[in-house]
A and B are shown apart, each in its own frame.
Chain A
Amino acid sequence: MPRILLVAQDKGGSGKTVLVRALAECLPSAHLIEIEANRRLVELEDRVSFFPVRAERGEINRTGGAAARAEFDGPLNAIATAQGPVIVDVGANTAGSLLPLIGEAQARYARRGVEFGLLVVLTSEPGALANAPVLLDLAKPFTAARFAVENQIEGPVDPKALKAFTKDVTLTRLEKLSLDERANDLLQKGGLRFIGEDLTAAEDSLTDRFGFAEAGRIVEDLTRFRAKAMQAAGPAARWLEG
């Protein structure tokens, strides 16, 4: 039975894509669907099927709204034909439209043996914090499991606020880590994949370029960050693995 994990947060800059990358690290066999305005998970190459959103205004005008109704056909079709675990990166400002469509089609997906989970990333930023319970509620009727990751990049979230909407939700935390400036630059360029695959072997190159001490900080910071992100994604990854 294919399991589909939707990773969502309609507020941008919450760290959603970091969690998607961490899930991809936890489950190297999982396929990914990226629903975004622009392709972001470039380092994951052919593991990712990319579907651009949203429909262009000109196209919507030309087709009398048909383009708007059909704008999610690509990812909805891809989900229907999934053969194994799939991580779906739902871009900002998209989940509020996509989740109801999946909910409407849930019975048809169930007949194909598809099972859904939801992972919401939230921060203390008011927009992200307010959106998290909305998405969790939207997904409740059609998901077998729901997860929330508190990304403390903007500071810890008020525990009372969290408690109010995380009943029946598996909650994990990604604590804020201070990264070496160059380590952060490399993280932005390469995501998490290179940290597990190439970083240790590249320590000599980094030492030649940045010196012994900074190369050590880069390797240490990036390795720690990847481990923490994978830890935060762990429960959802275990559910996805089945």
Chain B
Amino acid sequence: MPLDPKRLARDAKRAQAQRPDSSIGRETTGVTRAVRAGLPVIRQLRAAGVTWAAIAEALSAQGVTQGEGQPLTATRLTAIVTQVEAQERRTAEREARRRTRPDLTASSEIVPPPELSLPDPVAPAPPAPAGSGAHATEEEIRRAGLHDLRQLLKKS
């Protein structure tokens, strides 16, 4: 099938411009976006002993609902948080891997986290930053592994 290179470049740029300003990818639902934005507060509440059910109820009160306006459940909330944290972790790992590659130079597309400076070209690469600022739990690691497996098993 003949390929029109000009059209390919034009369509790709347009698609890129339509994507949200995120290195993670397309948001699928407003709930995920809201949870991602509220994750620091959610973590603080959990550290203070607030239950997932109470947090889900509070989010629902601000209009963060699931399905057809149904209140967000604790189960759904923990699933979304786990998913968002796994995405953040993978993104951080990917960026760290890229920084160790000698064949790549820093470009405008790969912006390091604000708290980090660009690595010294002759110094060893810094350790991977913790994407969420906290260590992943065993359950999060297991869920991320299961997600990877399911991706692998998808029909190509």
Residues of A within 8 A of B (CB): 37-40, 42-43, 186, 188-190, 194, 198-199, 201-202, 204-206, 208-209
B116 contacts the other chain (Cβ, under 8 Å)?
Answer: no
Most buried by A among B137, B145, B149: B149
Q: Is the CB of B152 within 8 A of A205?
A: yes
Q: Considering the complex, give the chain B residue whose CB is closest to the CB of A38.
A: B138
**A194-B153, A202-B153, A202-B155 given; A42·B148 CB < 8 A:** no
State whether A42 touches B139 (Cβ < 8 A): yes
Q: Contacts A38-B138, A38-B139, A42-B139 hold; do A189 and B145 have CB atoms under 8 A apart?
A: yes
Chain B positions within 8 Å of A, measured between CB atoms, are 137-139, 142-143, 145-146, 148-150, 152-156
Q: A42-B142, A43-B146, A194-B150 are in contact. List 15 more A-B contacts (CB 8 A).
A: A40-B139, A42-B146, A186-B149, A190-B149, A194-B149, A198-B153, A201-B153, A201-B155, A202-B152, A202-B155, A204-B156, A205-B153, A205-B154, A206-B152, A206-B153
Q: CB < 8 Å: which of B138, B146, B156 contacts A189?
A: B146
How distant is A113 from chain B, measured CB to nearest CB, in Å? 30
Asked whether B145 lies within 8 Å of A199 as measured between CB atoms, the reply is no
Q: Which residues in B have their C-beta under 8 angstroms from that of A194?
A: 149-150, 153
Nearest CB of chain A from residue B109's CB, rounded to whole Å: 27
Contact across chains for B149 and A189 when beta carbons are under 8 A apart? yes
Q: Say whether A205 contacts B156, CB under 8 Å.
A: yes
Task: Give the total number of A-B pairs whose CB atoms are below 8 A apart.
Answer: 49
Cα-based distance from A186 to B149 in the complex (angstroms): 7
Partner pick for B152 among A37, A188, A209, CB 8 A cutoff: A209
Nearest CB in chain A to that of B151: its residue: A205
Query: Are the C-beta atoms of B138 and A204 separated by less than 8 Å?
Result: no
Greatest chain B CB density within 10 A among A37, A188, A202, A209 is at A202
Contact of A39 with B139 in the complex, beta carbons under 8 Å: yes
Q: List chain B residues, Cβ under 8 A from A39.
A: 138-139, 142
Which residue on B lies nearest to A191, using beta carbons? B146
Chain A residues positioned under 8 Å from B145 (CB to CB): 188-190
Contact yes or no, A205 B155, CB < 8 A: yes
Q: What is the bound-complex CA distance between A204 and B145, given in angstroms?
A: 21
Residue of A nearest to B155 (CB): A205
CB distance from A6 to the nearest CB of B (A): 22
Which A-chain residue is minimally distant from B143 (CB atoms)?
Answer: A42
Q: Which residues of B contact A204 (CB under 8 A)?
A: 155-156
Q: A189-B149, A190-B149 are in contact. Are A40 and B138 (CB under 8 A)?
A: yes
Whether the Cβ atoms of A40 and B142 lie closer than 8 Å is: yes
Residues of A within 8 A of B137 (CB): 38
Report chain B residues within 8 Å CB of A206: 152-153
Return chain B residues, CB-CB under 8 Å to A205.
152-156
Report the bound CA distance from A196 to B91 in whole Å.
32
Cα A212 to Cα B31 in complex, Å, equals 41
Query: For B142, what are the chain A residues with a Cβ–Cβ distance below 8 Å?
Result: 39-40, 42, 189
| Shortest 10 CB-CB contacts between residues of A and residues of B | A189-B145, A202-B153, A38-B138, A189-B149, A190-B149, A39-B139, A205-B156, A208-B156, A42-B142, A198-B153
CB proximity of B94 to chain A, nearest CB, Å: 19
| Bound-complex Cα distance A38 to B142 (A) | 10
Bound complex: CA A1 to CA B80 (Å) = 38
Complex alpha-carbon distance, A39 and B145, angstroms: 14
Kindly list chain A residues whose C-beta atoms are within 8 Å of the C-beta of B148.
189
Which B-chain residue is minimally distant from A41 (CB atoms)? B142
Instruction: Write out the residue numbers on chain A whose beta carbons fall within 8 Å of the beta carbon of B139.
Output: 38-40, 42
